[in-house]
Amino acid sequence: MLFIGDVVGRAGRRVLRELLPALREELAPDFVVVNGENAAHGIGITPKEADEILRLGADAITLGNHTYRHREIWPYLEQERRIVRPYNYLPTQPGRGTTVVEAGGKTLGVVNLSGAVHLQAGSPPLVAVDAALKEVARADLILVDMHAEVTSEKVALGWYLDGKVTAVVGTHTHVPTADARVLPGGTAYITDVGMTGARGGVIGMKKEQSIAVMRTHMPMRYEPSEVDPWLMGVYIEAEGRRATRITQILRSGS
Ligand SMILES: [Fe+2]
Ligand SMILES: [Fe+2]
């Protein structure tokens, strides 16, 4: 399966449109999962971007801390089974935290989790994940997108789920880490897959604005950068539910 990191704004959507068809041909993944939490102008997602990502061939969309930024997505999260928000949000918040999608006679269980450190989660991810896994227990393959700020939470989750799921992939920091590997129990793991967006910005947003905010301590409207867009993700191979290989995908767009 192919997992693609946070699509950021127009540049991210453009590089996804440009590179995903060729990647699908080259790697022939059974499943494509895309994190779309920054697809709408860098923050959140609306039905328009979600529909586009699904149309491009994503079997499922995962989200994160910007899930509810746009009201239009709230009912969509209830209606569209292929999009998930973190499972460990409050039960009163719209949407589901797990889904099972089917392609080519195989099923993939997708679980989205949020870190609890420096992010607003309803319950601790390493506790909530037990119930989440029950919802996808019958799927052939299981992918967990752990959307978290700190590396320790993601590493701990990887070890906790080793042997239980096919892959634990980290998102949210938008910076890819160099620790992709298959853990001894057969779970593919990476602390952060990175983003699909402009590398010429600060985690996808215009660098001039980020620098100005950090130099003045005054608020400013952030806009997504268009400079040097890349697609970042991981390609995971598996035999049965066990992962056999994880390969980082880091490609520049035009
Ligand atoms: Fe993000
Ligand atoms: Fe995030």
pLDDT digits (tens, 9 = 90+) for 33-50: 999 999 999 999 999 999
Report the pLDDT averaged over residues 228-253. 98
* Residue 85: predicted pLDDT: 98
Interatomic CA distance for residues 21 and 114, integer angstroms? 29
Interatomic CA distance for residues 113 and 97, integer angstroms? 7
Ligand nearest to the CA of 175: 1
pLDDT (tens digit, 9 = 90+) per residue, 62-73?
Answer: 999 999 999 999
State the total domains in the chain: 1
Helical H segments across 166-222, by residue range: 207-216
* Residue 254: predicted pLDDT: 84
Ligand 2 centre to CA of 1 (Å) is: 22
For the chain, the distance separating the N- and C-terminal CA atoms, rounded to the nearest angstrom, is 25
Residue 128 CA, distance from chain mean position: 18
Ligand 2 centre to CA of 38 (Å) is: 8
For residue 83, pLDDT over 90 is answered with yes
CB 8 within 8 A of CB 171: no
Report the pLDDT averaged over residues 185-202. 98
How far is residue 29 from each of residues 32, 54, 112, 119, measured CA to CA in Å?
Answer: 7, 15, 20, 32
Ligand 1 centre to CA of 45 (Å) is: 11
Ligand 1 centre to CA of 125 (Å) is: 18
- The percentage of the chain sitting over the pLDDT mark of 90, rounded to a whole number, equals 98
Ligand 2 centre to CA of 240 (Å) is: 31
Write down the pTM of the prediction: 0.98
* Residue 119: predicted pLDDT: 97
Domain with 32, as residue range(s), is 2-252
Ligand nearest to the CA of 36: 1
Interatomic CA distance for residues 216 and 186, integer angstroms? 48
Residues taking part in catalysis: 66
Report the pLDDT averaged over residues 113-134. 98
For residue 217, pLDDT over 90 is answered with yes
For residue 59, pLDDT over 90 is answered with yes
Which CATH number belongs to the domain containing residue 34 in this structure?
3.60.21.10
Mean of the per-residue pLDDT values for the chain? 98
Helical H segments across the chain, by residue range: 9-27, 47-55, 73-79, 125-135, 151-161, 207-216
* Residue 153 banded pLDDT, cuts 50, 70, 90: very high
Ligand nearest to the CA of 203: 1
SS3 138: coil
